[in-house]
Each structure stands twice: as structure tokens, then as C-alpha cells.
Chains A and B, each alone.
Chain A
Amino acid sequence: MIKRMLLREVEYARPESVEEAVRLLGAHDGARALAGGQTLVNVMKARAASPEVLVDLADLDELRTIGRAADGALELGAMVTYSELVRSPDVTAARPLLAEVAATIADRQVQNRGTVGGNVCVNDPTNHLPPLFAAMGATFTILGPGGERSVTAEEFFLGVYMTAVSEGDLLTRVTIPALAAGSADAMEGITLGVHGTYLASAAVAVSPGAVRIALGCVAGVPERATAVEQRLAGAELTPENVRAAVAGLGDTLDPPSDVHAPADYRRRLTEVVCERAVLAAATRAKG
């Protein structure tokens, strides 16, 4: 029960088209998409989960593209790796912070395999991309037996390890609006070691007159700090104003405790990283 490292029996398929992938996911009970596997394979080694069928998305080239929509929005295929985000001129042009954050996820080896789709579908509370995408106002395109649908971050993230991607569904794409003039993003976190697991994180998107804030590590889904957003709407983002707006944020949260951060400490950290992220985004927006 405690021993790890070796997977249970599993079946494996490597479809050549998105449609075939969706068919396979729908046809087999307990089927699960295998993207980069940088979480899933570990969980399977621990035998904490054992899907019966793995549908490897590796050959689905259409999920590997990074593109720009007509309105400039950034379209990220679900199988785009963190390393590809780091190197992409499109990402750097549309939402540069995304590349910066991707460069701090785990380590180089994981960045070479881990994917955008895997990161958000796992939705571990400590993951980088869920709060970041929530703050950026991303939409998620899901292909299922009934066709394609797009959902917002609020609709996408349902709980720890739970998203709107249900059995038989496949996340194909994440779409992120391009930064408008006078807008900027920032993400701040406290990690276990440099570039380590987040103990607290806050992603912020500042646009003229508005601030979107999503907090990681405090709940099963990225938590929008809506009260802080409202207090800051239209306000000048000075250190004093931001501090005042963030004050009391921790008391509204119900974060978990673990060996690295008791709940109260996590509340405090979340206030600090929230404040810092808003100020960092404001500075960038000016710059």
C-alpha cells in the first residue's frame, strides 16, 4: 500500500487525430488522456490512480501549435510544452509573463515534457497556470462527443484535480486575450526552494481601470479575490492603495494547512504575494 514506483497494468493507445482521441476517450471506461505525463505518470507510479486506458496525445500536431487569432488573442494548443512557451515569440508578444512563469515551473526536464493542457487539467492547487489563466481571462476549448464548447476559467476549474473536462472530453486549446494598451500581468509566489512548489501564489492582470486577481494554493480552484478587485477598480495603484485594498484578504480565505505552511501563515503569505503582484503588474503597465 505504501510502495511505489511501478504502474498497474494499463492499456495504451496513440491516436493520430483529435477525433480519434475523443472517440477512444469516450469508448473506454476509465480512459484518460496522456499529455506530457509529468504528473500523471508519477501518480500512476504511486498507484494513487490507475486509469485503465491511456490515450497518448503525442501525435496530435494540431494540439501543439501556438497561434494568434484575428483579434490578437493567443491560442495555445493543449499539448504545447512549457519550454515551447518560453521560446515562443507569439507568447512573448502577446502575454510575456506567461513565458516568464513557464520558465519557473519545476525544472528544465519537466518544462520539456509538461504541457499547458496537463497543467490546467490536473488543477493541483499549487500549479502555476490555473491562477495565471484565471487572471488573464483565458477561455478553454473542450472537444467532446457532443462537439466543441468553450468555457471560462470560472467554469473550467471545478475542484482539486477536477475540471470541466469530463470523461470522454478532450481539452484542445486555451485562448488568452492579447494585452491591451496600458495593461500588464504579474505573478508572485512563495516557493519551497527556488522555483519550487508554490506555498502561496497570486496572479494579477491589470488593465486601465480594472484589476483581475486569482490566488493559488488556497482552495480547490483558483480563487478570484473579487473584493480586492472591486476595491481597486478605478483606483490608482499606489503602494498605499494596494496595501489598503488587500488588507483583510487573508481572513476571507480558508486555505489548507500542510507541513510547509499552516493555514494562518498561508493567509498571510497570500496577502503579501497579492499585494506584490498587483504592484508589479501596475509597474509593468506603466512601463
Chain B
Amino acid sequence: MSVAPEVTESSTYVGQSIPRKEDGRLTQGQGVFVDDMKRHNMGYIHFVRSPYAHARIVSVDVTAALEAPGVFGTLTGDEVAILTEPFFQIAPAPGGNIKDYALAVGRARFVGDPVAAVVASTRELARDASELIEIEYDVLEPVVDARTATDPRTPLIHEEVGSNESWSGTYDWGDVDGAFAEADHVVSIGELHFDRFNSTPLELDAALVEYNRGTGQWTIHCNNQFPGFAVIMMGPSIGVGLDKLRMVTQDIGGGFGNKITSHPQLVACCLLARKLNRPVQWTETRTDFHQSMSHGNERWFQDVEVAVKSDGTMLGFRCKALDDAGAYLRYEPLGGAIWVQVAPGMYGWRNIRVEYSQVVTNKAPVSPNRGYSRMQHLWLCERIVDIVAHELELDPIAVRKLNYVQPEQMPYETPSGCVYDSGDYPRALDSVLELIGYEGIEARRADAKARGKLLGFGIGSTLDSGTNNFAQSTYLNPDLQFSGNSEVATVKLDIFGEVVVTLGTTPQGQGHETTTSQVVADIVGCSTDAVTVRVGHDSYWNSHAGFSGTYASQFAVSGLGAVKGAADGLAAQMRQLAALVLGAQPEDIELGGGFAKLRANPEVALPFMALGAIVNVNNANLPEDFDATMNVRHVYRPHFEPLDLERKFGNLTLTYAMQIHACVLEIDPETGVYEVVDYAVIDDCGNRINPQIVEGQVMGATAHALGAATWETFAYDEEGNLLTPNFYDYHVPHALDMPPLKTGAIESPSPFSALGTKGMGEGGGAGIHAVCAALQDALRSVGGGIVHDSHNPYHRVFAMLQDPAAARADVKVENA
């Protein structure tokens, strides 16, 4: 029997689950990941990292290491401080005064902070030599709790800032005080905590860097997923123009945002390639990654107050948000603005005030992680709904439906000026309830009870906002000159009629080669097999723009928007040429099946090969004014209106996909151990180019959420040691840990994107919300503990079982 997915009878490739073009090489071990590449005489880099969370670097002595066998050279923080400028800071002063370099200069600020680097002829010899680098530290008191970071007795991490606060600002929309005056109930929650974790892509950060002495140009083979951002950081630091930094990616083994901020290591690699005049290679270890790379934003929500009408309608909320950025601001404080994309969650709340502040701590720097900054805030919104429902004894499902933005309100402008493009949230909720079999939930609860288990049911609803308006950065720093977004694609017709597509993106498993070929094949009129999509990103291809990369749920809009623009352009040129050759008008020409045909008489046709050849190698007879190149570069730019910085108001993202998750779990009341026993997800990301790929993203993000909800955490001790520094203690769920899953989809096309698509891939955070909701539901019958943390290991659940009063002590209801 055939195991191929069913291809429906359809005139288009778009909308079908065609098998992926990428899979042939990846299932045969023929993918090319960075660590697979070798160069003659290359050196292996080993970073020596600080074992202390906070320490003055008294001295670094590389003498013995330089004499060790096979060693080519070293790099120290002192050299880096001479050779480079500190990285550009997004934050305004004083947070922007932070001096961040490729290696720690003068002070180590987290366990794993790279202090020196050594290069040798083999991996083992580099590692051996690293033990000979003598570093003297003067250990300082570490700052590990964001809540005490600004206490005057707490040591400063960056003295040039004058405080451990890196950024703060108040967001105030609607009439918050009025809403509270109008409320029948005010529900308050003392403190909620969104935990620190990340998506731990299986491939680690890596680079192979070559330096061309003659041209002063570096070729950086790497797996950075946002090369546009990386070079903006690297160029000014090294003091070179961006064309000197040729960024090349091929297959990337997962990214999830975590591979955006490798620029400090890439700069160190560049300096070493130049200094040692040889190719150098760096591959991070798992422990390096956990200790130093891209933790998700840990966030505290304090003094949360919600204004509620007696029927459960919520008028809005106010709170403080305290973000723990870790030791350096590598992409931060952007997290301080990004959440505004989804300020009211999926709800019609009009009055919101958030006093946001961000502090630095002696932990690994935070950087984007799947659902970046929105996930934290959406978790807060979902916690608000479930806690309010619990306290006022309302049905969380009814409260959601009552408070959701309604389909007839679409497109909907939120209090912060963001525009939710389309969707039917109540319908999606009904769909997920049907998938999970909600009508039988009480029978299942009774069955669980008979087995001594506490059953819990919970919903998590979430938005997956995509295609950023980078002007959001000016909420943080009005002097920044960023706005809009951009992505590039080039589509050309080669001499033998092959359609070749070059992207600016850096896919890490999202199947861009496949979905691109579907869009192009439909427009140009050929099969997807006839479309070659180049693997990865290469800035020499000149098919990129300032925001090129793969991050923040945008490919289906920005990437495919660029692809469509370029393919439309090429198709127009092909019609133009065919018309010229066949003596017709371009509008008389139809493209299909690899031919340009006369609409009126399809027998009269030119194969693509002829079109490609005429322009490229047989062009003597073309008219002088014929300007088709058969090579079309298109830059996609979404339109955004200017922001109102005073009110922090305006549209920050183009599309809003959404997901609703439903979770059924059972707690063993004797131990707090729980198991997710049933799970369902509904996704709506507008038109789907390839439904199977979309479903794959939904599944993967769900798995991340389930991992983060129960097992995955970057936990630190009081000394700033990371207690989960690799997969031994950082438990990533495996095949036996996964519950049964049902998925379903709704398509609400976006009115704002070229293909009716919405970017997606980050909606999985809803799994965290759903598990929290289900735990709280299960605890209802045994004292009503309130879930305060996004991460609930068994011992935390046990504590809520043991002392429910403590677990709800800071939750209060005031009635008007």
C-alpha cells in the first residue's frame, strides 16, 4: 500500500500536503549542518567559561596554553576590548550603557560567560589547552532573584548603568481607574511567576569562519537564524561594513528563536580567523548552550488586579511586570515591547495598565524563545481568566466565550492599537471541546476518582502574532531608527528552463523549500519538482534584506509574500517574452505545465527552456527596449501606520493566528505526580499552504509547552549555578512522555496578507496555559489551590495539595 499523503484533486499545489523537498537528504544523512563542514588546516575553538556567576577577572594567563601541543592561538577579553567596540545596545541610557563584548571583559557575569578562547588542531587538543589557561577570579556576590535586583544592598552587575534596572516603562490604555470604579468585583493576585526555560534545539550553535586577507572579508558558515540582525550587531563591533560579513547557512537543526543571538561568539570566531589566518570552527556543547545561550524571558507579575462585572465580563486589569533579562541585553529589552502585540490576549478588555520593568541578573542572557514575550503575557491573561472564574465560581469556558473578541468585531483594534485581522474564537473553542469530548468530562472525572486520581480539565487560548512592525522598538527607545519589516525572494528562469528560487530566510525545519515551491509552481505554471529552492541563506546571493531570517511567525506572510511578488514578476516577464516570440499580447499568454501557451490555441506553446535560453544565451534578436531579465528580486514590505509613542499606541504585527488547547490530566494525590491523559488543539492560521507542515508546527509547539509545564526549567541555586545544565537534569519529554493528541484546523484568511495566510509556529505556549488551568481544576475539590507558576513540577503540585490555603493566600476578591 501507499503511505503517501493523499493529494486532493485540485488545480493548485497551494493548500495540499505535498511531501517535503527537504526530506530526501535529511532521511539519508545527507543534510549539511555546520559541524559537518571541514576545511584544510582548520582550527577548533574552545571557549573557557566562567565557573562563577559573578566575579572580577583579575588575570588571564594563556602562556602555558600557547605552548601546549597543537595550539594555534588564543583570544582574551583584553584583546577583544582593544579590537572591537561593545555591541550596539537597543536600550536607551542608562541600560544602554552596558558594555557587552564577544568575551567577558574585566568581569564575568554568569556561569558560562566566555572569558577566553583557545584554538588547536583537534577538538581534544583545544580542550586540553583550555585547562592550561590560568584565570584568577575575585568572586563577587551574585544576583539571582529579579525581585531583589534593585534593592540598594544588591551589588551592581553593570556599574556603568548605575542600577540593575535595564529598562522600565508604563503602559496605560483605556480608562483603568474608571474600569475599576465600574467593577462589581476586583480580583487580586499577589504574584505570578513565568518560569525560565527555552526550546533547546537539538543542533547546537556552531560556526565555521574563514577570513580572506586580500579582501578583508569573512565567510561565516553558521546556523544563526536571523543573520540580518546578527550583522547589524557584528559589523559596528568589528568596525567593518556589512558586506565584509558573508553570512551563510544551510541545514539548521532547530532554532525556535534560540539561535538569534550567537553574534558574540561569531565575532570571537571572526577575530580568531583573522588573528590566526586560518579557518576556525566552533561548535557549542549542550552544557554551553544551557549555561549561556538564549534563555526564555523569566517574568514576574505582581499586584495583579482585575476589574470584573457580576456576569464575568472583565473590563481590564492592572499589574506590575518584572522581567529577568539575565546578565546582558543581547536582544533585550525588546521583550518589554513585544508583548504589547497581544496586550488584551484574545479578550475584549479595553482598560489595561502594566508597569513594566526589566532587571539584569547573574544568569544566562535571555533572548527570543518560541512565543517570545507574548507567551509570558498570554499566560498571564489565561491565568487571569481561570483565577477570576475560580474565585467567582464561574465556568471558565463561559467566561472565555463571554470575554473573547467576537468574530463580528474583526478586524479588531485592541486598546494598544494592534489590529487582530480575523478569526472566530468562540467557534474555535467549541471545536476543541468537541475534539476532546468535553461532554463526557464529568464521567471521566468520576472514573478517575474511582481510581484514586484527581482529574483536571483546562483550556489554554493563545495568539500567534506574526510579521513584526519593528517600530515597536521605539516604545523602548525613541531614538532607534527601526520600523516595518522586510523579506526578500529571487525567482529566476535558468537556461534549461529550471525555475530557481533564492530566499533570504534561514529555515530550521519549517519546510520553506516545499511551501515556496508550491507557491511558485502555481504562479509560474509548472510542477513543484521543476522548482529548485536553494537551501539556506547566503548574503552573496543578494537575496536578503535587513530583517531577513526565520523567526517570529512570519514566513507565510513575509517570506511567501516575497516569493509571490518575485514569482508574479517572473511570470509577467515570461508572458512578455512568449508574447514577443509568438506575436501576441502578454495577456494572451497562459503559463502551465512548463509551457507558455497561447490562450486561444494552447497547441502554440514555448517550453520554459526556450524562454530561459532566449534571454540568456540567444538574445541577439531581442528588441533593444526589451527589459525582461528572467531573474526577479522582490522585497516584501508590510504597510504599517506610524506609532503614537506618547500613548504607546499603534499596530505592531500584521497577522494574528490563534490556537486553543484543551488538556485533561490526572493527579496522584499521594505524590503530586500528574499525567496528561488527553489533549486536543485547534489552530487557525488563515489559509494553509501545506496543512501537514502547519500541523507539524502545532504538534511541535505543543510538545515544547508540555515540556515547559512539567519538566523543563533553567533553575539556579543561590550561588548562580545552573542546576539543569544539560539533558541529564533538564528533562526533555520523550516519546513515552507524550499524551495522545488530536488536532484540528479552522481557516480564517487574513485580509492583510498576499495569500490570506498568517504566520504561525509559536502558538504552542497555550499548552502551558492549559496545563496550569487543568491543574487548578483538579485541585478544586481538594482545597482549591491556585496555580501561580507556569512551571509545575510534581513537588510544587504536592505543595498545593498539602497546603491549599498557602497556595491561595494572595488571591482576594473585593466586591463593590
Contact = CB atoms under 8 A, between A and B. Distances in A.
A6 B124 contact: yes
Contact of A192 (B286, B670, B711): B711
A259 B671 contact: no
Interface string A250-272: 00000000111110010011001
B795 A260 contact: yes
B285 A5 contact: yes
B724 A3 contact: no
Taking residues whose C-beta sits less than 8 angstroms from the other chain, chain A's interface range is: 20 to 34
Given A1-B51, A259-B715, A272-B670, A194 B723 contact: no
B288 interface: yes
B48 A3 contact: yes
A39 B735 CA distance: 23
Contact of B711 (A1, A7, A193): A193
A258 B723 contact: yes
Interface string B580-591: 000000000000
A260 B287 contact: no
B729 interface: yes
Interface string B672-683: 110000000000
Contacts of A195: 736
A193 B736 contact: yes
B508 to A, nearest CB: 22
B575 interface: no
B282 to A, nearest CB: 12
Given A193-B736, A272-B671, A1 B285 contact: no
A199 B793 CA distance: 12
Contact of A2 (B111, B672, B737, B793): B111
Interface in A1-19: 1-9
A181 to B, nearest CB: 32
State the majority secondary structure of interface residues on A.
loop
A269 B287 CA distance: 30
A3 B113 CA distance: 11
B704 interface: no
A242 B620 CA distance: 97
A55 to B, nearest CB: 21
B794 A2 contact: no
B287 A3 contact: yes
Contact of B124 (A2, A7, A196, A260): A7
Interface string B778-813: 000000000000000111001100000000000000
A268 B127 contact: no
B798 A265 contact: yes
A101 interface: no
A194 B130 contact: no
A1 B48 contact: yes
Contacts of B711: 192-193
Interface in A176-216: 190, 192-197, 199
A1 B132 CA distance: 10
B734 interface: yes
Given A265-B798, A268-B671, A193 B731 contact: yes
Contact of B285 (A3, A193, A194, A260): A3
Contacts, number: 82
Given A6-B123, A193-B734, A260-B729, A1 B49 contact: yes
Contacts of A199: 794
Nearest to B715: A259
Given A2-B291, A9-B128, A258-B723, A192 B47 contact: no
Contacts of A196: 731
A7 B111 CA distance: 22
B795 A265 contact: yes
Nearest to A269: B671
Nearest to A5: B285
B112 interface: yes
Interface string B71-113: 0000000000000000000000000000000000000000110
Contacts of A5: 123, 127, 285-287
Nearest to A192: B731
A3 B795 contact: no
Contacts of B633: none
**Contact residue range for chain B?**
35 or more
Given A1-B49, A259-B724, A193 B795 contact: no
A258 B794 CA distance: 13
Nearest to A1: B51
A2 B799 CA distance: 34
A6 B44 CA distance: 13
Given A2-B288, A193-B737, A194-B737, A261 B46 contact: no
A2 B670 contact: no
A268 B409 CA distance: 53
B236 interface: no
Contacts of B51: 1-2
Contacts of A197: 728, 731
Interface string B265-296: 00000000000000000000111100100000
Nearest to A107: B734
A262 B717 CA distance: 13
B511 interface: no
A194 B735 CA distance: 9
Contacts of A265: 672, 794-795, 798-799
B733 interface: yes
B795 A261 contact: yes
Contact of B46 (A3, A190, A194): A3
Interface string A224-239: 0000000000000000
B127 A3 contact: yes
Contacts of A1: 48-49, 51, 131
A287 B155 CA distance: 65
B671 A260 contact: no
Nearest to B46: A3
A39 B731 CA distance: 17
Contact of B287 (A4, A9, A192, A258): A4
B49 to A, nearest CB: 4
Nearest to A9: B128
Interface in B639-680: 670-673
Contact of A268 (B47, B731, B736, B798): B798
A194 B731 CA distance: 11
A260 B797 CA distance: 12
B436 to A, nearest CB: 22
Nearest to B125: A6
Given A193-B731, A193-B733, A193-B734, A3 B288 contact: yes
A3 B49 contact: yes
Nearest to A194: B736
B68 to A, nearest CB: 12
Contacts of A269: 671
B795 A4 contact: no
B285 A190 contact: no
A196 B715 CA distance: 19
A276 to B, nearest CB: 9
Interface string B714-732: 0100000001101011010
Nearest to A264: B795
Interface string B23-53: 0000000000000000000000011111100
Interface in A96-119: 107
Contact of A190 (B123, B286, B291, B794): B794
Interface in B597-656: none
Contacts of B726: 4
A272 B671 CA distance: 7
Given A5-B287, A261-B795, A265-B799, 19 more contacts: A2-B287, A2-B288, A2-B291, A3-B47, A3-B130, A3-B288, A4-B726, A5-B127, A5-B285, A6-B124, A8-B128, A195-B736, A197-B728, A258-B723, A259-B724, A259-B729, A265-B794, A268-B798, A269-B671
13 contacts: A1-B49, A1-B51, A2-B111, A3-B48, A3-B288, A9-B128, A192-B711, A193-B711, A194-B736, A197-B728, A258-B723, A265-B798, A272-B671
Q: 7 nearest interchain CB pairs?
A: A194-B736, A259-B723, A265-B795, A6-B127, A2-B49, A259-B715, A5-B285
